[in-house]
Amino acid sequence: MNKTRIWILGLLITLVFSMAFTACDLGGSYAAPPEIITEPKNDKVILPYVQTSIKVNITVDAKSTDGGTLSYQWYSYKKKAEHTNQSGTAIAKGTKATLSVDLKKENKGANLYYVMVTNNKGDVKSKPVQSRGVTITLSLEDEAEFPVIVILYFAYHVKKHIRIYNIGVIFQFLNIFYCLSLNSY
């Protein structure tokens, strides 16, 4: 009889704990980790020499598997070795699915980013899911490239049609054309 009571008591304790854990899991106090559907993509951007900066958008597509609301935090980091959970520098305005970055000439080269996505269900947050690291490579357009092409083109065509008496006038004309073309670049 003693063994039966112990067995029944053990069974009751098991059922109580089982129901308590099941109630916690089903009662909304659990937020499932989000699922990243489309990772952010690497990109190469050329900054035209007539501009001081260029805007680049980096996007991640994620979904909640349990109807929660997603939150995002984008990070920038310097070296590929730093791309681990919670390393890097949090970007203050990087709290949406799309990060808009304003790259300047000083950012020439590799710019590294990743995002942490969290599922929020009520007051409960899931474990964050980290995207893969993305590299945005900024190159600067060669400043000498455009004027040389314009000068060679006009020098060739002008020489064919008129006799050049004053080269200074021709270069003033080319300079005016070049300045006008900067506004429509």
Structurally, the chain folds into a number of domains equal to 3
Tell me: do 22 and 40 sit in the same domain: no
Tell me: do 98 and 127 sit in the same domain: yes
Tell me: do 109 and 135 sit in the same domain: yes
- State how far the alpha carbon of 65 is from the alpha carbons of 50, 62, 74, 131, 142, in Å: 46, 10, 21, 17, 48
- Gap between the Cα atoms of 100 and 94, Å rounded: 8
The predicted-structure confidence for 65-106, as pLDDT tens digits, reads as follows 898 999 999 999 887 655 555 578 999 999 999 999 999 999
Joined tokens for residue 94: 């990087």
The answer, as to whether pTM is greater than 0.95, is no
CB atoms within 10 A of CB 12: 10
- What is the domain range of residue 167? 145-183
Tell me: do 41 and 111 sit in the same domain: yes
- The CATH number for 93's domain is 2.60.40.10
The predicted-structure confidence for 43-68, as pLDDT tens digits, reads as follows 999 998 888 899 999 999 999 989 89
